[in-house]
Amino acid sequence: MADVEVALEHSQAGDNYIFSYTSGTTGDAKGVKLNHRNVISVAQTIGSRFPPMDQLVVISYLPYPHSFEQCMLSYTLLVGGKIGYY
């Protein structure tokens, strides 16, 4: 197999992280852009509100594109926790 050179670019804080689609509970469904700064900011806030845990385990039960699910995923990865998927 031939060697393939891949050029990866570093993400910037304002770059899109995910498009989260709302259910439309209070109106029309729509796509919401979350950038890296949004998700990391919430993850850091969660970390500042809860004491550090030696063995954090989070059970993931929300749909993956849900904004809170993304923030909990980021927080858990930042602190080296484990994620169980429902």
Query: Domain locations in the chain?
Result: 16-85
Confidence class for position 30, pLDDT limits 50, 70, 90? confident
The reported pLDDT for the residue numbered 3 is 72
pLDDT in tens, 9-29: 888 999 998 888 777 778 888
Residues sharing a CB contact under 8 Å with residue 52, sequence separation 6 or more, in sequence order: 79
Cα–Cα distance for residue pair 36/74, rounded to 1 Å: 10
Q: Is the pLDDT of residue 1 over 60?
A: no
- The tens digit of pLDDT for each residue in 59-80 reads 888 877 777 888 888 888 888 8
In the block, residue with structure tokens 């930042």: 78
pTM: 0.65
Nearest to 67 by CA among 46, 43, 39, 41: 39
